Amino acid sequence: MKVGYKIWLENDGKVFGRGPYALLKGVEETSSLHQAAARMGMSYSKAWRIISNAEKKLGFFLLARTRGGLDGGGSKITPAAKELMGRCEHLEKDVGEAIERIYRQHFGPSTGSGRAQGDS
Amino acid sequence: MKVGYKIWLENDGKVFGRGPYALLKGVEETSSLHQAAARMGMSYSKAWRIISNAEKKLGFFLLARTRGGLDGGGSKITPAAKELMGRCEHLEKDVGEAIERIYRQHFGPSTGSGRAQGDS
């Protein structure tokens, strides 16, 4: 048995979590929200809504439109998005380590296979 | 802005989290899975399924049926369930404190109201 977790930033509801983070990471790597969405099996309109909602709640832009290029322009992440992503990466890493340590204190070592399971 | 989180025990899928914990807490207080489910606005059959699935994954019983009483018997939590709940309470408390501390390291103090929000 082991411990699972999810963390997110909130302010009267979720503001930023793994979904928007993964989309921004995809845009950073592909320079395209279309491609970032497709990689996650998500429609472009849903991806756009997720980013747009996060921008509204955060109060700053996460994506900037770029001009030119073969497909007539794509997207890139803003410096503010980059900084937010960096903070979230540190948060995730430190929280993951802390949770694992605290879990071991109360439940003993994590195991991949875990205890015997029931019959069905 | 502040940080939100959820933790659970897992072993090839979720084993035990806030849902089953809240049901067991309700049974501890009401001696009835019917009442525990009703308090959470949940059908009895759904509550029963949640507990039964957790029992299978854990490999031990969480609820025992009691006899007698006005309604012809109710439920009580097993000693193993009580111990699990205690460990989960410690886990939640320590993890909550650690996450809050780590969040402050990377994002500054939590606020109830948070940053300025967008227009809509």
- What's the Cα-to-Cα distance from A118 to each of A46, B18, B52, B54, rounded to whole Å? 39, 21, 10, 10
Distances (CA, A) of B96 to A101, B6, B93: 13, 9, 5
> What CATH fold (topology level) applies to the domain B14-107?
Arc Repressor Mutant, subunit A (1.10.10)
The pTM of the full predicted model, rounded to 2 decimals, is: 0.80
Best residue in A2, A6, A7 to probe B by mutation, most B CBs within 10 Å?
A7
Q: Considering only residues B110 and B41, tell me which one the structure prediction assigns the higher pLDDT.
A: B41
Please tell me which of the candidates B10, B113, B118 has its beta carbon nearest to residue A59. Answer: B118
User: Is pLDDT larger for residue B27 or for residue A120?
Assistant: B27
Chain B contact residues (CB < 8 Å to A): 1-12, 14-15, 55-59, 87, 90-91, 94-95, 98-99, 102-103, 105-107, 113-120
Q: Is the pLDDT of residue B10 over 90?
A: yes
Cβ contact A98–B99 (<8 Å): yes
List the CATH code of the domain at A11-107: 1.10.10.10
Q: Where are the domains of chain B?
A: 14-107
Q: What is the pLDDT of residues B56-76, one digit of tens each?
A: 999 999 999 877 655 556 899
Q: Please tell me the distance from the alpha carbon of residue B64 to that of residue B83, in angstroms, as a whole number.
A: 15
What is the pLDDT at residue B116?
Answer: 41
pLDDT of res. B112: 53
Degrees, nearest 5: CA angle A9-B9-B87:
100
Q: Which residues of A touch B (CB under 8 A)?
A: 1-12, 14-15, 55-59, 87, 90-91, 94-95, 98-99, 102-103, 105-107, 113-120
pLDDT the model gives residue B115: 42
Kindly report, residue by residue over A26-63, the tens digit of the pLDDT: 999 999 999 999 999 999 999 999 999 999 999 999 99
ipTM score of the complex?
0.81
Beta strands, E only, chain A: 2-10, 14-16, 63-65, 75-77
Greater model confidence, A96 or A66 = A96
Query: Which pLDDT tens digit goes with each residue over B19-49?
Result: 999 999 999 999 999 999 999 999 999 999 9
How many C-beta neighbours within 10 Å does residue A30 have? 16
Q: Which of A59, A116, A118 sits opposite B117 (nearest CB)?
A: A59
- Cβ-defined contact of A98 to B103 (cutoff 8 Å): no
* Chain B hits for A105, Cβ within 8 Å: 94
List pLDDT tens digits, range A75-115.
999 999 999 999 999 999 999 999 999 999 999 877 654 44
pLDDT band of B15, cuts 50, 70, 90 = very high
Which residues lie across from B16 on neighbouring strands? B9
How much is the pLDDT for A112? Answer: 53
Under a CB-based contact definition with an 8 Å cutoff, are residues B35 and B26 in contact? Answer: yes
* Rounded Cα–Cα distance for residues B13 and A117 (Å): 12
